[in-house]
């Protein structure tokens, strides 16, 4: 049996740390956090799902950092391979994004 202190005719639901309903789910959260806000959308306060120039430049910075990390000492080549893979993936994404933005006005 999983719990030694429980007998066959006794239920083990009285153990507090195993009871999923042992305490309220939002204990200590302000009331506004738990309130339902069905009419709020990110576009209402200015977020349109894009980071703009900051995100694009950040991706290039992350790519450079990944490539600089190749110069560190690695136990074997697997770390270097993964760094090159993720840097190449970021470069491919950036090239795709540049082409997408350049051709967006044609649609």
What confidence score (pLDDT) does residue 1 get?
42
Cβ atoms of 74 and 80 within 8 Å: the answer is yes
Span 49-58, pLDDT tens digits: 778 889 999 9
As for how many domains the chain has, the answer is 1
Span 14-50, pLDDT tens digits: 554 556 666 666 667 777 777 776 777 777 777 777 7
Overall pTM surpassing 0.95 (yes/no) = no
Q: Is residue 56 domain-resident? A: yes
Backbone phi, psi, residue 11, to 5°: -85, 145
Provide the residue range defining the domain that includes 48. Answer: 16-106
Residues contacting residue 1 through CB under 8 Å, at least 6 positions apart? none
CA distance 94 to 54: 13
Query: 83, 60, 57, 59: which is closest to 70 by C-alpha?
Result: 83
Q: Is residue 72 domain-resident? A: yes
């Amino acid at each position: 049996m999983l719990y030694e202190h429980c007998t066959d005719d006794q239920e083990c639901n009285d153990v507090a740390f195993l009871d999923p309903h042992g305490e309220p789910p939002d204990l200590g959260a302000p009331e506004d956090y738990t309130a339902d806000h069905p009419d709020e959308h990110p576009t209402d306060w200015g977020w349109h799902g894009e980071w703009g120039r900051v995100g694009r430049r950040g991706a290039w910075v992350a790519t450079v950092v990944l490539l600089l990390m190749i110069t560190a000492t690695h136990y074997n080549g697997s770390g270097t391979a993964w760094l090159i893979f993720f840097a190449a993936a970021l470069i491919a994404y950036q090239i795709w994004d540049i082409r997408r933005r350049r051709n967006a006005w044609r649609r």
